[in-house]
Structure 1
Amino acid sequence: YITIIWGEFMKKVLFFISVLLLISFVIFTKFTIGGIILAIYVILSVVATRRNLTLDEIIDISILYGKKSSLVIILFIFIGSLSATWMACGTIPGLVYYGLKFINPNIFLFFVFVICCIVSSILGSAFASTGIIGVALMAIAKTSDINLNLVGAAIISGVYFGDRWSPISVSANLVSSLTGVSIFTNLRNMVKSTIVPFILTSILYLGLSRVFTLDITENLLPNMIMANYNLDIRFIFLPLVAIIVLSILKVNVKISMGISIVMATLIAMFLQNEKLFDILNYAFNGFYKFNGGELEKIIKGGGVVSMANATIVIVISCLLVGILEKMEILSFLKSKIRNIDSRANLFANMFGIGVISSMIGCNQTVSIIMTEQVMEEVYDSRGLSREDLTVDLENSAVILNGFIPWNSSCFVPCAILEVAFYIAIPLAFFLSLIPICTFIQYKIADRRALK
């Protein structure tokens, strides 16, 4: 009995120490978004105690959901390490070098969008695609005076194309699992609502590319890269090739990234003559080899430490979701849905629930689950199929997370690319065109009254 009492006491102590550490971190680093989410968590915890929840129940649910953040944190560690080791081994410098030689500067933004669509469809992850191809494309953009927030927007548009429409996408598979619709049926049904937004986004980036061109005239960067790296194409692109091949073979993205990091480490040691200790330091603290040099503006960053803020957001978000679950917020949201007489109106309601879920859930997974649980019964009662539910979830809840500043779907890509979310996200046209085009399609084409 004494052991049980002591164990419960220590659990509370460790929990409060963890919360105090989180508070200290957001205050010390002046991490505004993290502070906002943490404040919401604390306020809801206090409210929960006034709704007959005990402190022990709040701690238990917080610990349970806090543990769920571990898988995402591991992914962040891989992303941070990957980008730094790719800089050390020559993969990113090589992409910049050959990119400057072969990319048409007059269609750069369009090229960025399309390349990110292709890579993210292969990798199935917006975060991984941003850390892999997004960082390289941003490095190319930094060689010119092109608007980096606009480039970041094109990258974000592209990575969410694949995050939404890839057979190995976590979000697409989650939606299929929740609704019971085959993943390939899900992907096939999404084509209709993807074509117009993709074409419109491409046209917009083509037009902007004519205004915001990549100025590479008299660029000395390729010579500087050649002077500091051995760009033997037999080796420097192997880490990238490994990621692509393993993803096509449907190997778990974390395993693919781990293999790529090991390959990058070996190439850095034997091709670039880097010391193992230095490479490990890069992987943790970031690649900052060219301090004070011209290359520092282009080839720097990454590392596990660079993902600290994103990690904090995820941890606090998971704690927050636990409280929301315990307070039965879903039942409250469901009770507010009314006056649905058409498919367009139904989608508008799902859009609204998706926005709320994205705001309070703080990450894509939670938002999808919350929206599906609220809307599932409504779709069934209106005589719509699970395929209808699946498509509407993909066109709302999956995409909407990218608009919420404190949601990991928005915060993490912006943090990796070092762009301002309030500028980049409005310019990430694909994110907004998906729900807009879907609503217009329902408004024009589907005039049937629902049950």
Structure 2
Amino acid sequence: MSKKVQRQPSLTESLIPIVFLIFLLSMNVMFWDDTLRGANQVALMTAAALSGILGLRMGYTWTEMREKIVKTIGTAMPAILILLLIGALAGTWLISGVIPALIYYGLDILKPKIFLFAAVLIGMIVSTATGSSWSTIATIGVATLGIGDAMGFDKAVVAGAIVSGAYFGDKMSPLSDTTNLAPAVSGTDIFTHIRYMMYTTIPSITITLIIFLIMGFNLHGGKPPEHIAEVQASILQTFHITPWLFLVPVILFIVIIKKMPPLPALAIGVLLGGIFAVIFQPHIIQNLTHITDNYAKASYIGVMQAIYGPTHIVTPNKEMNDLFSTGGMEGMLDTIWLILSAMIFGGIMESNGMLRKITRSILKLVKSDGTLITSTAVSCIFFNITASDQYISIVVPGEMYHDAFKDRGLKPEVLSRTLEDAGTVTSVLIPWNTGGATQARVLGVPTLSYLPYAFFNLISPLMTIFFAYMNIKIRRYKDDKENKRTASEAGNQPS
């Protein structure tokens, strides 16, 4: 039996699964309050099935598509493992009192008028030092959200500020994996890449800080000082608060700065949280386990439950009870399910050539440097939507547009900057992307709720497109040649 001849998909065929997916996701938003609990997962798998059927009609075999799905899921496995550890970290940092302590002391230091501005700034500093937006949001970000909630700020606004600050460091830190990946794909070195990113990143973050500063002075948080004092009192009544608890985040940030990989670093954070819970919060452990006659047994069960399952700590302040609740690893399973569903959709779309067809059609529209850079930025966002992974949104457009940038005489740092401006920062804005799904679950704020306030992430791709069309800081090979010729002519001038 002869093998069926494969053919390339048409642009219409390639767009059908994406249009169908958008339709299903729109329906889900209309009918479900929480689409992450299954509706979006089924939508992604249904769209993947439609793409697979079209692929079979074009001559692609199920085995070929399955192999690509498995490979694509493999790229998401580090994110899935990190997600499980973040769930565990949230549990042990809650019962140890680390998160409550950060909120308690943060309410003393941060004032409502500058809180949103400070939330961005703190996220910038921590994420730049650690190189990880995920770790920053899961630790300092969760505490910052609690402080903002106690002050009366809308959680979506605070989450937008946290995400903006955290992704600044994810984009700019030499310790960040995406900051290393983008120049590697583009063909430049990391420090040239970082210096060149400053031209678009500094204006973007400056605008973001100004917006949040203005918002802070106008919103004020909405809660009087008496309310904040009540929140602090309820924390003191429930937890044993001491500065010693700060050792846990300090040690975690030190090991991350020392370039320890994320998985073992987070595992250390989980372990330290459990140890400090046993030492400083015996009453919390006994209340959670209802075991008062055997503290060793209660400690083991209490810490283990905080790692893998839901934990609810009741405080005198009912408004804070939702904040002092975590799902542990179990709470991350819906998000992992969503990521796996997104990887299945992206894997099938890539295996049958549909993603390539769409991106090649975009390339045909390139008529200038501005349209090339815009096309690259749009492609990065497109891959964040379809492939659902920020690494794919950097690698695939980087490889696809590399020769086009070179042919137009644009230096590789122009490409690497565009990949970060549009790929890294927009992953967190897509509800089913690994970035968006994770941060929505960690912060407890839906992606589409904080999206309008993630100003840095929204401004960055627009800024790189603006620079392209205004021809601002667009490096070309011919510029180097002209500079060398000018220097040579100057050196040959008679003295």
The 1:335/1:444 distance shift into structure 2, 3 A limit, reads closer
Q: How many residues align?
A: 425
Map of 1:328 onto structure 2: 353
Q: Give 1:241 shift.
A: 0.4
Q: Does 1:423 align with 2:423?
A: no
Which of residues 317, 329, 333 is equivalent to 2:342? 317
Aligned residue runs from structure 1 range 329-408, under 5 A: 329-332=354-357, 333-408=359-434
Deviations 1:365-412 (A, max 9, x none): 111122112211211221212112111111122223233332222222
| Structure 2 match to 1:115 | 122
The amino acid across from 2:462 in the alignment is I
CA shift, 1:28, in A, is 11
| Pairing 1:432–2:458 present | yes
Matched ranges for 1:17-416 at <5 A: 30-214=37-221, 215-219=223-227, 220-234=230-244, 236-273=245-282, 274=285, 275-290=299-314, 294=318, 295-332=320-357, 333-416=359-442
Distance 1:28 1:240, change over 3 A: closer
Distance 1:137 1:216, change over 3 A: farther
Distance 2:370 2:201 in 1: 17
1:81 offset after TM fit, Å?
Answer: 0.7
Cα distance change of structure 1 residues 28 and 213 upon mapping to structure 2, 3 Å threshold: closer
CA–CA separation in structure 2 for the residues paired with 1:287 and 1:446: 52
Partner Cα separation in structure 1 for residue 95 and residue 472 of structure 2: 55
Rounded to whole Å, the distance in 1 between the matches of 2:201 and 2:63 is: 47
Deviates more, 1:60-69 or 1:106-115: 60-69
CA distance in 1, matches of 2:410, 2:132: 30
User: 1:174, CA displacement in angstroms?
Assistant: 1.6
Quick one: distance in 1 between partners of 2:474 and 2:132? 36
Give the letter for the 2:314 counterpart. F
Distance 1:240 1:83 in 2: 12
CA gap 1:123/1:28 in 2 versus in 1, 3 angstroms: closer
Q: Secondary structure at the match of 1:97?
A: helix
Asked if the contact 1:62/1:323 (under 8 Å) is kept, the reply is: yes
Q: Name the residue aligned to 2:295.
A: none
For residues 121-143 of structure 1, the C-alpha deviation after alignment (integer angstroms, 9 at most, x for no partner) is 12222222211111111111222
Aligned twin of 2:482: none
SS in structure 1 at match of 2:150: coil
**Match in the other structure for 1:19:** none
Structure-2 separation of matches of 1:281 and 1:141? 28
Deviation at 1:443? Answer: 2.4
Aligned-pair distance for 1:112? 0.7
Three-state SS of the structure 2 residue aligned to 1:143 is helix
Distance change in 2, residues 1:54/1:448 (3 Å): closer
**Superposed CA offset, 1:335-394 (max 9, x none):** 431343433222211122222212211111111122112211211221212112111111
Q: Matched residues in 2 for 1:340 and 1:449: separation? A: 18
- Tell me by how many angstroms 1:291 deviates: 7.7
- The one-letter code matched in structure 2 to 1:284 is Y
Change (3 A) 1:55 1:254: same
Query: TM-score, structure 1 length as denominator?
Result: 0.88
Instruction: Give the aligned residue type for 2:414.
Output: D
Distance in 1 (alpha carbons) for counterparts of 2:172 and 2:310: 31
- Mean Cα displacement is larger for which, 435-444 or 305-314? 435-444
- Of the structure 1 ranges 26-35 and 309-318, higher mean CA displacement relative to structure 2 is found in 26-35
Q: Which amino acid aligns with 1:285?
A: G
Distance in 2, matches of 1:209 and 1:93, equals: 23
Matched residues, percent identical? 24
TM-superposed CA distance for 1:201, in Å, is: 0.6
Q: Bigger shift: 258-267 or 325-334?
A: 325-334
**Amino acid across the alignment from 2:256:** S
Q: Quick one: structure 1 residues 67 and 446, their matched pair in 2 at CA, closer, same or farther if it must change by over 3 Å?
A: closer
Amino acid at match of 2:241: L
Structure 1 range deviating more: 385-394 or 335-344: 335-344
Stretch moving more, 397-406 or 109-118: 397-406
Name the amino acid aligned to 1:262: L
C-alpha change, 1:144 and 1:362, in structure 2 (3 Å) is: same
CA distance in 1 between counterparts of 2:439 and 2:68 reads 29
Q: Distance in 2 between matches of 1:71 and 1:288?
A: 28
Q: CA, structure 1 residues 405+130, in 2 after alignment: closer, same or farther (shift >3 Å)?
A: same
CA distance in 2, matches of 1:189, 1:29: 38
Shift of 1:59: 2.5
One-letter amino acid of the counterpart of residue 356, structure 1: F
Cα distance change on mapping 1:216 and 1:245 into 2, 3 Å? farther
Aligned partners of 1:143 and 1:216 also within 8 Å:
no
Deviation at 1:447, TM superposition (A): 11
Runs of 5+ consecutive residues of structure 2 not aligned to the other structure: 1-31, 286-298, 479-495
Q: Deviations over 1:235-256 (max 9, x none)?
A: x111100111112211112211
**Whose radius of gyration is greater, 1 or 2?**
2
| Conserved 8 A contact 2:123-2:140 | yes
Q: Secondary structure at the match of 1:53?
A: coil
Structure 1 residue ranges without an equivalent (≥5): 1-25
